[in-house]
Structure 1
């Protein structure tokens, strides 16, 4: 059993004294919508991996709050959450973890586990944050440590950019989109500097790119309003 990172636990205890991790107003606003999509996605994952209760699962780039919301659907035997920082994204709204869960920090490059160590790797809304030149490396790392995997990412073809909850900001030339990002709800709640930084980081993928990254996988299209909202690559 992998233990939580010691420095990570110290950070929680010294900074927040066991209280709840601060939750941004932006996340609070979006939480009902996110919970709906996460529940739907969890049911889809469960339909593909019905025996997940017997699995050792790695949630790559994941968060505790995802599992707090879908724990009644997905109940792995063991869960490891792997992230690059001890922040709200990794901790969620509650800093406590159960005996069968662990939070591990890493450098964002090489996954610090052995070949095929996990029965299932889940990777939600991470790939679009990875620089395009590094995506193939991450896909190879996922395949290395996983017996099975599911990788989800928002679809570039969907008219509403999910990070900004704004239309077409991701369709226009990057220089214009960066300016438009400061006029979005994300900028209103978190400031224009944060919005520009998020825009610089996020580049959404199209279906062709997902198929190139995961050529042996079954690509499932998540739908919303009759359009493809995201892609999910299920290993064969």
Structure 2
């Protein structure tokens, strides 16, 4: 029963295949924000990136969110740091999502996450959330390399932990309030995700230093590290 959790699944999610209608995608965006807010991404962001921004003092800060979706996490981060001068950018491949991100406080660019159109050391911090598991192992390493290339300080990757309890609880609870597209892709996301030791391995392969993998509720792992100077 649990053999399927021993190694990552490489079955593509519908989101990655583009196999969804515009209406399904819009509902997916709403449901994902509910999941972000209730089940962990905001908590994970506060425990890591926001904590490090606060610890750095009152100076200017710049942040890039890679695979930003509709930009909701960036919006929350902008609220938390409203008292200081900030430059926040969402990088997203989906054109509709890119348009959604843009606002008075957020910039957005449509681009390939593995080929970020920024110079080295362009941002203080670079993060991604629930994005790493969409990639195969080699591309996950490439993503972390590219994130660290454009980051002056640390990079952060918030993602799921591949474990049976989370998988079966998600499927049971998700049937109550999620559309089929979100439910099925979310379950597959857990099967595609990394375990802590695997996260450390890809971070080491990407050449990151001072690597940490922290756990956060609910079923979240937070990989962080910095480039080797």
TM range (shorter): 0.5 to 0.7
More relative contact order, 1 or 2 (CA 8 Å, 6+ apart): 2
Gap change, CA 1:143 and 1:130, over 3 Å in 2: same
Question: 1:203 deviation in Å?
Answer: 0.9
Gap change, CA 1:223 and 1:27, over 3 Å in 2: closer
Question: Which of 129, 142, 148 is the equivalent residue of 2:147?
Answer: 142
Deviations 1:124-177 (A, max 9, x none): 22101112231111111111111122222212247314xxxx43x8xxxxxxxx
Question: Separation in 2 of the partners of 1:150 and 1:197?
Answer: 21
Q: Are 1:83 and 2:72 counterparts?
A: no
Gap change, CA 1:202 and 1:81, over 3 Å in 2: farther
CA contact (8 A) 1:130 1:202 kept: no
What SS does the corresponding residue of 1:137 show, helix, strand or coil?
helix
Q: Which residue of 2 aligns with 1:124?
A: 129
Question: 1:87 deviation in Å?
Answer: 3.7
Gaps of 5+ in 1: 1-14, 16-20, 170-180
Question: Separation in 2 of the partners of 1:222 and 1:33?
Answer: 16
Question: Separation in 2 of the partners of 1:193 and 1:96?
Answer: 24
List aligned pairs for 1:1-236, cutoff 5 A. 22-24=26-28, 26-27=31-32, 30=35, 32-34=37-39, 37-39=41-43, 41-50=45-54, 51=56, 54-62=60-68, 63-75=70-82, 77-88=86-97, 90=98, 97-98=103-104, 100-148=105-153, 149-157=155-163, 159-161=165-167, 166-167=168-169, 185=174, 189-191=178-180, 195=184, 199=188, 203-215=192-204, 216-224=209-217, 229-235=220-226
CA contact (8 A) 1:43 1:73 kept: no
What SS does the corresponding residue of 1:160 show, helix, strand or coil?
helix
Question: 1:103 deviation in Å?
Answer: 0.8
**How many aligned residue pairs are there?**
193
Moved over 6 A (4+): none
Structure 1 length as normaliser, TM-score? 0.65
Gap change, CA 1:184 and 1:137, over 3 Å in 2: same
CA contact (8 A) 1:59 1:80 kept: yes
